[in-house]
Amino acid sequence: MRHLTLSIAATALAVAMAASPAMSQSNYNRWSDPDADTKPVAAKKSTNSKAELKALKDEIGALVDKAEKAKAADPKFLKDLRAALGTNKPYWNNRLIEEQFVDGEYSNNPRWTALFGRFGYDKKTGLSMTPSSMAGGGGNASSVLSAILGGGGGGAAGNGNPSDNAGLTLDRSLPNAFALDVILYAGTVANAQDANIRIGLTQGTNRRAGYWITVIPGAAPSVSLHVISRSGVKRLAVASLDSAVRDGDQVRVQAQPRPDGRIRVSVNKKPLIDVNDGTYKGAYNSLVVAAGDMSASLRRVYYYIHD
């Protein structure tokens, strides 16, 4: 905190001196207070340094947002400043969606629709989603989910068999200038080779075309970002996770597109994907959260929009 504050102060002083030549020449001699206590004074520790640092970072982050929106500074400089601040958390003021699944209810305010699978509730982990093939039952595959899982997914939208998947969709207009923050808990894996957790922001009636984030929990844990469009499926980026995702582990996925076209994805607060893509620029029609060949619990979904 102290180093950051001193750095900011030093920068401001340098700018002021450059602007005023007279300040660079001193007419005064070094002065020492004869009445001052010569004993070294211990630095006073802040009683709430973490809160002060967070407040400072929030304030600077808000200023960066305004500068970016007004195009008042070099985009590369703003990008570097965000990286220095570690600003993975969005600085939007408006939270469009604030769903915490505190009672296991998902069909009201906002209204989520079950695509396929079996659902339950756990006080700690939230709304559980279990593929019907794992829940000991059959069931008719949702035509919506079948469309999402249609051929050519390339691992982006699903495994192809609806009974091996479980998921929800929130169908509403979602502005493109957003920051998404989703917390899930991994569950039991039925097929280690195909197990995955997926989050999709889609356009169109079949809830397929759009961007898909896929977390693979197995022996080679990873996160990938795909885009599905009329041109087909394209993997934009893939990154390895530090460790395998096991039953009961929390998985926090944060995604944020920037005005310059860059898309950033973090898993458990670690930035892993930073790519440029401008395939979709308009509002989305739906947000899909699903699991394939494994169970998972949905604890929280926050969707921030730019003010």
Q: Is 4 left (phi over 0), alpha (psi -120 to 50) or beta?
A: alpha
Q: What is the pTM of this model?
A: 0.69
Q: Kindly give the pairing relationship between strand 126-130 and strand 165-174.
A: unpaired
Lowest mean pLDDT among 71-85, 110-124, 139-153: 139-153
Tell me the pLDDT of the chain averaged across its residues.
78
In the block, tokens 């002083």 appear at 13
pLDDT digits (tens, 9 = 90+) for 213-260: 999 998 899 999 999 998 888 999 999 999 999 999 999 999 998 767
| CB within 8 Å of 25: residues ≥ 6 apart | none
* HSE value, Cβ hemisphere, 13 Å, CA-based, for 187: 29
Segment 175-180 mean pLDDT: 90
Q: What is the pLDDT of residue 272?
A: 97
DSSP 141: P
pLDDT digits (tens, 9 = 90+) for 123-167: 889 999 999 889 775 544 444 555 555 544 445 666 667 788 999
Q: What is the pLDDT of residue 73?
A: 83
DSSP bridge pairs for 229: 232
Q: Domains in the chain and their CATH numbers?
A: 1-17+49-87 (no CATH), 94-305 (2.60.120.560)
Lowest mean pLDDT among 107-111, 274-278, 288-292: 107-111
Which is more confident, 55 or 302? Answer: 302
pLDDT value at 19 more than 50: no
When computed from its CA atoms, the radius of gyration of the chain, rounded to whole angstroms, is: 24
pLDDT digits (tens, 9 = 90+) for 277-291: 989 988 999 999 999
What whole-number distance in Å separates Cα of residue 49 and Cα of residue 264?
29
In the block, tokens 């979709």 appear at 280
What whole-number distance in Å separates Cα of residue 203 and Cα of residue 285?
5
Q: Where are the beta strands (DSSP E) in 153-258?
A: 165-174, 178-189, 196-202, 210-216, 222-229, 232-240, 250-257
Which is more confident, 127 or 4? Answer: 127
DSSP bridge pairs for 200: 212, 288
Share of the chain above pLDDT 70, in %: 71
Q: What is the pLDDT of residue 188?
A: 94
What whole-number distance in Å separates Cα of residue 124 and Cα of residue 91?
27
Indicate the angle between helix axes 75-85 and 49-70, nearest 10 degrees.
160
What whole-number distance in Å separates Cα of residue 144 and Cα of residue 141?
8
Is 50 buried (19+), middle (13-18) or exposed (0-12) by CB count in 10 A? Answer: exposed
Chain centre to alpha carbon of residue 228: 20
SS3 content of the chain, % helix, strand, coil (to 5): 20, 40, 40
Give the C-alpha distances (Å, rounded to integers) separating 85 from 47, 197, 213: 22, 29, 25
Q: What is the pLDDT of residue 97?
A: 92
Give the C-alpha distances (Å, rounded to integers) separating 89 from 57, 69, 158, 173: 11, 17, 28, 23
Structure tokens at 142: 């949702």
Structure tokens at 109: 């305010």
Chain centre to alpha carbon of residue 286: 17
pLDDT value at 189 more than 80: yes
